Amino acid sequence: MSKATDADAELGVTLEINGQEVQAKQGETILEATERTDIDIPTLCAYADLTNVGACRMCLVEIDGSRLETACTTAVQDGMEVEVDTDDLWDHRQTILELMFSEENHYCMYCEMEGDCELEDMFNRAGLDSSRFPLEYPEIDPDTSNEFITMDLDRCISCGRCIRTCDEVVGNDTLSFGNRGKDATIVADDDVPLGESSCVSCGACVQSCPTGALYSPLSAYRGREEDCDVVQTTCSECSMGCELEVYTNSGRIVKIEGVEDGPDGGQLCEMGRFGLLGDDRDRIHEPSIRGEGAVGVDVATDRVADLLEDAETVDAVASDRLPSETLDAFAEAMDDYDAAVEVPGAGRAREEKRIARQVAKHFEKSPSGLRASGPRALLDADSVVVFDTDIVDTHPVAASYVRRASKGGATLLSVDEDEDRFGRKSDVSIEAGTGLDRVSEDAVEVVEEGASALSDVDAETLMDAVPALTSGIGVVVLGPDVSEDTIVNAYALAGMTGSKVLSLPRQANTGTDVGTDDLHGSADVAYLFAGDDREENVDRMLDVARGADTVIVQATRESILTKAADVVLPALDWFERSGTVTDASGADREIARVLEPRVAVDSDREVLSALSEAVEPQEVKP
């Protein structure tokens, strides 16, 4: 309710809080009004942009010397006199805190969150060191069924932040309150273990939990927040480019959180929050040459330079998750050896730019006018069409925004060749047996000619659903596996209806212009810069490796690729790199070094420039 406040409204309401004159906006809550002041109203259930519900009663304030209200749900009024810190109010807060403490099993000393716990802080702030009430000792089994998230309701105060986060931020609705009164508890789906529920393990609830009721075993007992260094960087697992807040302690990563007031609203996915912590493939620490074992960096780069120089043909492939600066250095180095260069996945972004230009010309618009500014554009949409719902797996954060749009009242039309992954969130699902390009073409026809003679079985559904695009704000989402025809149709659809396209290629860094060559296919030497790419992403590189006589691999961790290599060069991991990547919406995002590299090389670019320098001066062509 309180979040409906118009951000641009003027400060037209004057009230007094703790004797201090405060200016507020019409419709704003007392709690929101104090955010512009140094007055600190205690809260437990309020969090970031979540709807306020007044559940914890910590923000009780005294209004006009008589009535008590929760500041998070009470709107400001002109001339209101509010007291926040009277003895009477703190008496109430103490009692509530003592009841919270006695109701569940809060044994702070043994809790992972001790030191980072908002309940403990509040207990201290209220001047409490014990509870007057006898402890209830309820019997609670911690739920460890999810490998990333432990739900230990021994520490739960039923503030409902996790439920609202799952609903309002993730749009997944896995969590709810079950039962009633004193027995009320957090449940997943119909009270099944979290690991067997519809939970997508994004961990947003872990980030919002004020106590130790939801925590990740991957981060547990690795250090309190105050003992950690925090670095902001960008995730390069997909083209979303989510901002990561990485906590480190004693040279290791403790946990990763989203940034609530950042461009992504704090939402991350399982991969970004947990997967990055748990890469247990063996690290490549130093260069090695087949038959000779580990060698020094100089020896290895000299050997690589020799191999490249002696080769008639060189095929070079680099991972699309590397920063643009590194990819440029790669292209430059390979160019010195006349290599054919490819960045798998970069084709899609290039193709799309060309399509957008042409479609835009047709509709007398600018190409950028056809593209959505980012996933947040979905929140303002009246209708959303998704081609390829696999974004639920490949771009989970974008999927959250789609679900939120649907919950916010947007009409959601999902088109997929298989099962619609948005399930009941979709208003219309089309299982496109005939392929996405056919359905997207039909959609264009529906807009163009209205009730035309569509032969498809899906025609009727399309006729009902597509017109929603033409009224209000529409967004067409393109998943990772769509054909060129579908991309053309999607842009055409956007051009005709005034909608925007949100394109989500698999490729992590969409900003590179590197990689336009056709590879030789069976070259003398293959140079494969895999970085920290995972097994499923190195298929293309494996193909190239199979065709080549000699294989050089620059990689972070051991994989099937490094086993096939004649020379292996170490590469940095995601948390050691620095540079820039471009996200799916075309915005540049910074990658910052989180930890110093602990391998033989300090920078991927150094290795590449050493290769460039090793080239003997070429004859200048006349």
Partner 1 sequence: MASLDSIRQSIHESDADVGGDDAEIIPADADVEDVCDEEVDTVRSLIEPFPDDKEGVIPALQEVQGEYGYLPRFSMQLIADKAGTSMAHVYGTASFYSQFYLEPRGEHTIKVCTGTACHVKGADEISEEFCDELDVELEEVTDDGQFTVSHVRCIGACSLAPAVMVGDNVHGNVTEEKVPDVIEEYRGDDA
H, E, C per residue of 507-543: CCCCCCCCCCCCCCCCCCEEEEEEECCCHHHCHHHHH
Is residue 190 a contact residue for partner 1 (CB under 8 A)? yes
The CA distances from residue 458 to 438, 439, 484, in Å, are 10, 8, 21
Considering beta carbons, is residue 429 or 440 the nearer one to partner 1? 429
Considering beta carbons, is residue 197 or 507 the nearer one to partner 1? 197
Which span sits near partner 1 by CB under 8 A: 64-72, 77-85, 182-190, 262-270? 182-190
Considering beta carbons, is residue 67 or 424 the nearer one to partner 1? 424
Considering beta carbons, is residue 160 or 511 the nearer one to partner 1? 160
Considering beta carbons, is residue 180 or 563 the nearer one to partner 1? 180
Is residue 619 a contact residue for partner 1 (CB under 8 A)? no
Residues 424-443 that bind partner 1 (CB under 8 A): 424
User: In the structure encoding, which two tokens stand for residue 350, read together?
Assistant: 């290039």
Q: What is the closest distance, in whole angstroms, from the C-beta atom of residue 423 to partner 1 in the complex?
A: 8
Can you tell me which of 188, 214, 269, 551 binds partner 1, judged by CB under 8 A?
188
Q: What is the closest distance, in whole angstroms, from the C-beta atom of residue 273 to partner 1 in the complex?
A: 21
Name the pairing type of β-strands 81-83 and 13-17.
parallel
Is residue 470 a contact residue for partner 1 (CB under 8 A)? no
Is residue 358 a contact residue for partner 1 (CB under 8 A)? no
Q: Are 491 and 356 in contact (CB under 8 A)?
A: yes
Which span sits near partner 1 by CB under 8 A: 55-63, 179-187, 560-568, 613-621? 179-187
The CA distances from residue 291 to 137, 364, 553, in Å, are 64, 62, 15
Considering beta carbons, is residue 214 or 277 the nearer one to partner 1? 214
Q: CA-CA distance, 394 to 537, in Å (whole number)?
A: 12
Q: Are 602 and 576 in contact (CB under 8 A)?
A: no
SS3 label, residue 386:
strand
Q: What is the closest distance, in whole angstroms, from the C-beta atom of residue 426 to partner 1 in the complex?
A: 10
Which position has the token pair 């939801």?
214
Which span sits near partner 1 by CB under 8 A: 130-138, 188-196, 226-234, 304-312? 188-196
The CA distances from residue 476 to 443, 466, 492, 499, in Å, are 12, 11, 10, 7
Is residue 191 a contact residue for partner 1 (CB under 8 A)? yes
Which span sits near partner 1 by CB under 8 A: 187-195, 270-278, 319-327, 487-495? 187-195
Is residue 145 a contact residue for partner 1 (CB under 8 A)? no
User: In the structure encoding, which two tokens stand for residue 47, read together?
Assistant: 């969090």
Q: What is the closest distance, in whole angstroms, from the C-beta atom of residue 559 to partner 1 in the complex?
A: 38
User: In the structure encoding, which two tokens stand for residue 256, read together?
Assistant: 């990763």
Nearest of 395, 397, 396, 390 to residue 420 by alpha carbon:
390
Which position has the token pair 């009024």?
77
Is residue 179 a contact residue for partner 1 (CB under 8 A)? yes
Burial of 456: CB neighbours in 10 Å, binned 0-12, 13-18, 19+? middle
Is residue 198 a contact residue for partner 1 (CB under 8 A)? yes
Residues 398-427 that bind partner 1 (CB under 8 A): 424
Q: What is the closest distance, in whole angstroms, from the C-beta atom of residue 26 to partner 1 in the complex?
A: 30
Considering beta carbons, is residue 188 or 256 the nearer one to partner 1? 188
Q: What is the closest distance, in whole angstroms, from the C-beta atom of residue 393 to partner 1 in the complex?
A: 20
The CA distances from residue 91 to 86, 88, 581, in Å, are 9, 5, 53
Can you tell me which of 83, 98, 147, 189 binds partner 1, judged by CB under 8 A?
189
Q: What is the closest distance, in whole angstroms, from the C-beta atom of residue 163 to partner 1 in the complex?
A: 8
Residues 159-178 that bind partner 1 (CB under 8 A): 173-178
Considering beta carbons, is residue 173 or 302 the nearer one to partner 1? 173
Is residue 180 a contact residue for partner 1 (CB under 8 A)? yes
Considering beta carbons, is residue 178 or 547 the nearer one to partner 1? 178
Is residue 67 a contact residue for partner 1 (CB under 8 A)? no
Considering beta carbons, is residue 107 or 177 the nearer one to partner 1? 177
Handedness of CA 515, 520, 522, 527 (dihedral sign): negative
SS3 label, residue 4:
helix
Q: CA-CA distance, 72 to 269, in Å (whole number)?
A: 29
Which span sits near partner 1 by CB under 8 A: 70-78, 153-161, 185-193, 377-385? 185-193
Q: What is the closest distance, in whole angstroms, from the C-beta atom of residue 80 to partner 1 in the complex?
A: 34
Which span sits near partner 1 by CB under 8 A: 139-147, 186-194, 302-310, 540-548? 186-194
SS3 label, residue 116:
coil
Q: What is the closest distance, in whole angstroms, from the C-beta atom of residue 421 to partner 1 in the complex?
A: 15
Q: What is the closest distance, in whole angstroms, from the C-beta atom of residue 169 to partner 1 in the complex?
A: 15
Considering beta carbons, is residue 170 or 329 the nearer one to partner 1? 170
Beta bridge partners of 283: 557
Can you tell me which of 187, 502, 514, 594 binds partner 1, judged by CB under 8 A?
187
Q: Are 125 and 118 in contact (CB under 8 A)?
A: no
Q: What is the closest distance, in whole angstroms, from the C-beta atom of residue 468 to partner 1 in the complex?
A: 16
Residue 613 CB coordination number (10 Å) = 11
Q: CA-CA distance, 588 to 413, in Å (whole number)?
A: 30
Q: Are 463 and 425 in contact (CB under 8 A)?
A: no
Is residue 214 a contact residue for partner 1 (CB under 8 A)? no
Considering beta carbons, is residue 19 or 181 the nearer one to partner 1? 181
Considering beta carbons, is residue 77 or 198 the nearer one to partner 1? 198
Q: What is the closest distance, in whole angstroms, from the C-beta atom of residue 409 to partner 1 in the complex?
A: 11
- Residues binding partner 1: what is the number (CB under 8 A)? 15
Is residue 196 a contact residue for partner 1 (CB under 8 A)? no
Q: How many CA atoms lie within 13 A of 300 on its CB side?
A: 25
H, E, C per residue of 217-256: CCCCCCCCHHHCEEEEEECCCCCCCCEEEEEEECCEEEEE
Alpha helices in 158-239 (DSSP H): 161-164, 204-208
Q: CA-CA distance, 257 to 272, in Å (whole number)?
A: 9
Q: CA-CA distance, 88 to 83, in Å (whole number)?
A: 10
Residues that bind partner 1 (CB under 8 A): 173-180, 187-191, 198, 424
